[in-house]
C-alpha cells in the first residue's frame, strides 16, 4: 500500500479515499479540501477531486503551513459535494503528519445529498431527432441560427418534451481585469436550476439559468441571477451537439435576511419616502446589461458544445466522469439598466460596486463572465413540473433558503485557494454606506 503522505523536498502529497458509509464503494467527483489546523487561523493547503474508486491526491508546498518555524502539518479534511459539506474531520486532526501517517480512509453518508441523486448518464427513450439537420446553416462548426425567432422562456412550455438538467453550472471570471495577473476565480452556482428544454426533434424552446448568493459584510446577503431574456436553438442527442443563441441580463437584489439589517432598513425607508421600488425582490432587482464579447450592440451570444477555451479549467471545476455532456458560454458585462430616476440609478451603481467588492468583480463592466454547463442525461418533461420550476425561479426563492438541491460552491482561484475580498476594500465599505445614507441621495 502506498504511503498516505509523501515528501519530496518541500512538496507534500497527501493521498486517501472517500467511501460510502457502510460499504466499500468509492464516491466519484467529491471535493476533498485539506487544511492545516492552527491556533490563530487554519491554513488552506489544497483541494482534490475523487475518482471512480473514491481516491484523491492533494499536493502543497511546506511554505503554506510552516511560516515562522519548522514543524509538521496538523491536517484535517472537509468533504464537499457541490456546496454541501458531507464531512469535516476538524475534531479528528492528524497531528504532526509525516510519511509514517497511516492510510487516510474517509467515509461519508450521501443519504441527504440531493445533488448526488440527480446524476444520470442514460438518456430516456423517445428521442427522434432531425431538427439540427433541417437547415444546412445550423451545421457545425459555425452554426447560424438567425432564421429562428428569439423566444421567451415561458412562451412555449407546452411544446417541451425533453430536457437536460444543468447540475453543475461552473462560472469563471477575472477578479482584477486588466491587471498583469487578473487572478481568475471559479465558482459553481446553485445546482438543478438551469435546464435546457426542447422537443423530441431537438428544437430548443426554453433555457433556464442559475442563481447564487453573495454576502456583503455590512449590507448582508445579496442574490445574483443570470436571467435569460430570449433564446433559440437546437439539441442533437445522437452526437451530443447543441447550438443556441441567448440573451441574458444579470440581476441583483437583497435577500430577506439582509432587509432585516439596520443599514438596509434605513435604505428601504429612503426608497419608500421617495416612492421608489427598493431592490428587495427579483421583480425590482438591479439589472446589469450583457452582450456578446467585443460586440456591445449584439445582445445575443452562443451556447456551444464543449468547454470554453478562454481560460484553463481546474480539476475541481470539471465533471467529465459524472455528467452526460457539457457546453459553454461567454458574455461581456455592460452597465446597469436605468430606472429612469437619476438618484435611484446612483444607488443601484453603488450597490453594484459593493456587490463587486464582495464577489471579486463578477459583474464589473467590461469583464467577461464564462461558464461551462455540465448536463445530466436527457429526460422527459413533466409540463406541470417544468412550469412550476420555471415559475419558482422566475419569482425566486431567496439565497437565504437556498436552491432545491443544495448551495453552490465557494469561489476559488485556479489552485483552489478560496477567494477573499481585500481587507482594505471591506474597511472602506461601511464609511461609504453610512455617507450614502447621511447624504440621503434619494
What confidence tens digit (pLDDT) does each residue in 350-364 have? 889 888 988 899 999
What confidence tens digit (pLDDT) does each residue in 59-92 have? 999 998 876 666 789 999 999 999 899 999 999 9
CATH 1.10.150.240 fits 5-111, yes or no: no
Cα–Cα–Cα angle for 49, 54, 55, rounded to 5 degrees: 70
pLDDT band at 426 (very low <50, low <70, confident <90, very high): low
- Could you give the dihedral angle defined by the CA atoms of residues 256, 257, 258 and 264, in that order, rounded to the nearest 10 degrees? 80
What confidence tens digit (pLDDT) does each residue in 4-60 have? 999 999 999 999 999 999 998 999 999 999 999 988 889 999 999 999 999 999 999
Beta strands, E only, 237-276: 241-254
299-313, 364-378, 403-417, range with the lowest pLDDT = 403-417
pTM: 0.91
Q: Residue 26 has what DSSP assignment?
A: B
Q: Please name the residues in contact with 116: beta carbons below 8 A apart, sequence gap of 6 or more.
A: 27, 81, 110
**pLDDT attached to residue 85:** 95
Element (H, E) at 58: strand 55-61
Measured CA to CA, the distance from residue 138 to residue 317 in angstroms comes to 30
Domain ranges of the chain: 5-111, 116-439
Amino acid at each position: 500500500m502506498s504511503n498516505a503522505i509523501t515528501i519530496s523536498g518541500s512538496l507534500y502529497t497527501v493521498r486517501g479515499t472517500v467511501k460510502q458509509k457502510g460499504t466499500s464503494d468509492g464516491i466519484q467527483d467529491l471535493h476533498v479540501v485539506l487544511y492545516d489546523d492552527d491556533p490563530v487561523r487554519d491554513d488552506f493547503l489544497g483541494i482534490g477531486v475523487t475518482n471512480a474508486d473514491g481516491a484523491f491526491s492533494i499536493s502543497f508546498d511546506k511554505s503554506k503551513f510552516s511560516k515562522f518555524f519548522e514543524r509538521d502539518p496538523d491536517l484535517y479534511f472537509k468533504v464537499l459535494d457541490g456546496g454541501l459539506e458531507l464531512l469535516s474531520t476538524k475534531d479528528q486532526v492528524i497531528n504532526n503528519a509525516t510519511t509514517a501517517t497511516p492510510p487516510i480512509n474517509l467515509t461519508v453518508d450521501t443519504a441527504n445529498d440531493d445533488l448526488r441523486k440527480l446524476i444520470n448518464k442514460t438518456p430516456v427513450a423517445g428521442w427522434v431527432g432531425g431538427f439540427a439537420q433541417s437547415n444546412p446553416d445550423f451545421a457545425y462548426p459555425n452554426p447560424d441560427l438567425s432564421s429562428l425567432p428569439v423566444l421567451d422562456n415561458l412562451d412555449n412550455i407546452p411544446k417541451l418534451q425533453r430536457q437536460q438538467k444543468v447540475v453543475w453550472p461552473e462560472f469563471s471570471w477575472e477578479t482584477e481585469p486588466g491587471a498583469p495577473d487578473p487572478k481568475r476565480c471559479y465558482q459553481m452556482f446553485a445546482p438543478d436550476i438551469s435546464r435546457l428544454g426542447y422537443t423530441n426533434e431537438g428544437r430548443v424552446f426554453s433555457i433556464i439559468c442559475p442563481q447564487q448568493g453573495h454576502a456583503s459584510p455590512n449590507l448582508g446577503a445579496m442574490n445574483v441571477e443570470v436571467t435569460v431574456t430570449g433564446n433559440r436553438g437546437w439539441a442533437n442527442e445522437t452526437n451530443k451537439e447543441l447550438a443556441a443563441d441567448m440573451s441574458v441580463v444579470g440581476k441583483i437584489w437583497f435577500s430577506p435576511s439582509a432587509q432585516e439589517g439596520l443599514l438596509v432598513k434605513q435604505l428601504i425607508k429612503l426608497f419608500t419616502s421617495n416612492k421608489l421600488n427598493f431592490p428587495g425582490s427579483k421583480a425590482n432587482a438591479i439589472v446589469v446589461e450583457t452582450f456578446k464579447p467585443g460586440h456591445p450592440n449584439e445582445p445575443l451570444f452562443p451556447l456551444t458544445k464543449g468547454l470554453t477555451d478562454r481560460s484553463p479549467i481546474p480539476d475541481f471545476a470539471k465533471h467529465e466522469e459524472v455528467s452526460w455532456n457539457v457546453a459553454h458560454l461567454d458574455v461581456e458585462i455592460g452597465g446597469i439598466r436605468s430606472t429612469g430616476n437619476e438618484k435611484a440609478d446612483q444607488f443601484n451603481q453603488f450597490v453594484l460596486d459593493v456587490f463587486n467588492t464582495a464577489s471579486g468583480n463578477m459583474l464589473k463592466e467590461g469583464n467577461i463572465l464564462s461558464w461551462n454547463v455540465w448536463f445530466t442525461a436527457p429526460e422527459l418533461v413533466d409540463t406541470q413540473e417544468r412550469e412550476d420550476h420555471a415559475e419558482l425561479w422566475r419569482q425566486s426563492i431567496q439565497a437565504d433558503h437556498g436552491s432545491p438541491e443544495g448551495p453552490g460552491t465557494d469561489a476559488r482561484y485556479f489552485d483552489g485557494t478560496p477567494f477573499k475580498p481585500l481587507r482594505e476594500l471591506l474597511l472602506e465599505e461601511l464609511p461609504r454606506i453610512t455617507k450614502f445614507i447621511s447624504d440621503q441621495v434619494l
